[in-house]
Amino acid sequence: MSTPQPNDFSVVHPIDHLMRADRLPHILCAGCGIGTVIHAYVRAIDESGTDPDQHVCVSGIGCSGRAAGYVNVDSYHSTHGRALPFALGIAVHNPSLTVTVISGDGDLMAIGGNHFIHAARRNVNLNVICINNFNYGMTGGQVGPTTPIGAKGTTAPQGSIEHPFNLPYLAKACGASFVARWTILHVRQFTDAILRSMDKDGFCFTEVLSPCPTSFGRRNKLGEGLDEVEMYRERCHIENGAENLQDLDIDIVDHEQPITVGNFVDIERTAFHA
């Protein structure tokens, strides 16, 4: 394969057809991990060999909620917290569609938490990607339901005093058929987790840790986006099939603590088909 010349515009990026290039430039900050998540999602569509017309992307509100606006499939940017029931309506009415929800930790787990536990309990045929950046980025860095104890936000200037959700543990307890946690460093494994979710019937959940240098990283001495990814490289250890999900809390203050990632749950459980 010959190397494309710099001025050769006949060569297109292999995922161009899955992106809304006419929406660029995007709104995301330098060092943000959401773009990597979007890339992994469209890469998974591409690698799945399925018809992009049969894919639907639904999101809620927040920086992560903007993901639906950049992907070139039928896409719906719904209201804060309601991406899951909106997606349920699509998936239940037309079961031939592959419906993926991409949204943030605040959207899916705080304001949308009730829908999350019930969608997992029902085992609705949805692929859910929760971009966890530990805070409300779009509104400027408030703490949320996944902010680790001790981490700072504008609404917890001395550090959060609340216990955060451990998302894989929560998803498994609620009945999800597939549960994974990766970071945006682990693009290959993360893309494979999305591919597995697209292929699998039932509620599939992947948490992906993602830097928010603008609103979270700088307040918590995590440096730039790249520095946080470097932290993932140093601290993450892969434990596919990990049994001890209750021990998977993330410590953002003590950098000696490992962060466990992997595909944790992949079970057969009757999916919801109304």
Q: Which residues bind another protein (CB under 8 A)?
A: 20, 22-23, 52-54, 56, 58, 68-69, 72-79, 81-82, 84-90, 92-94, 96-97, 114-115, 118, 274
Peptide bond just before 25 cis, omega within 30 deg: yes
Q: Which of 82/181 has CB closer to another protein?
A: 82
Q: What sign results for the dihedral spanned by CA atoms 128, 133, 137, 140?
A: positive
Q: What share of the chain is helix, strand, coil (3-state, %, to 5)?
A: 35, 20, 45
Strand pairing of 135-136 and 142-143?
A: antiparallel
Q: Which of 148/202 has CB closer to another protein?
A: 202
CB of 251 to another protein, least distance (A): 32
Contact 64, 57 (CB under 8 A): no
Strand pairing of 178-183 and 259-266?
A: antiparallel
CB of 232 to another protein, least distance (A): 31
Q: Which of 1/24 has CB closer to another protein?
A: 24
Distance CA 70, CA 50 (A): 19
Contact 146, 160 (CB under 8 A): no
Q: Which of 87/242 has CB closer to another protein?
A: 87
CB of 179 to another protein, least distance (A): 20
CB of 114 to another protein, least distance (A): 6
CB of 258 to another protein, least distance (A): 35
Q: Which of 8/53 has CB closer to another protein?
A: 53
